[in-house]
Amino acid sequence: MNKNRLLFIGLDAGDAHLIEQWCLEGWLPNISRMKAEGVWARLATTADVFHVSAWPSTFTGTTADKAG
């Protein structure tokens, strides 16, 4: 039986531009390998509107105004 696996890594306060640059420069080989072998995407964040809402929104799958 084939089961799909999902690994979600949230780099809290990570700068996506620097992470991508350091991957290209070879400083982050494990992240580079995960990007190459999996799926890499930048996610939109609710933190631009309400700074403490990003993780609760990620865990609940809803926005802060709906989660309360």
CA distances for 67 relative to 53, 57, 62, angstroms:
10, 8, 6
Q: What angle do CA 10, 12, 15 make, to 5 degrees?
A: 100
DSSP state letter for 51: T
pTM: 0.66
pLDDT in tens, 14-32: 888 999 999 999 999 999 9
The whole-number pLDDT of residue 57 equals 79
Indicate the domain borders of the chain: 16-67
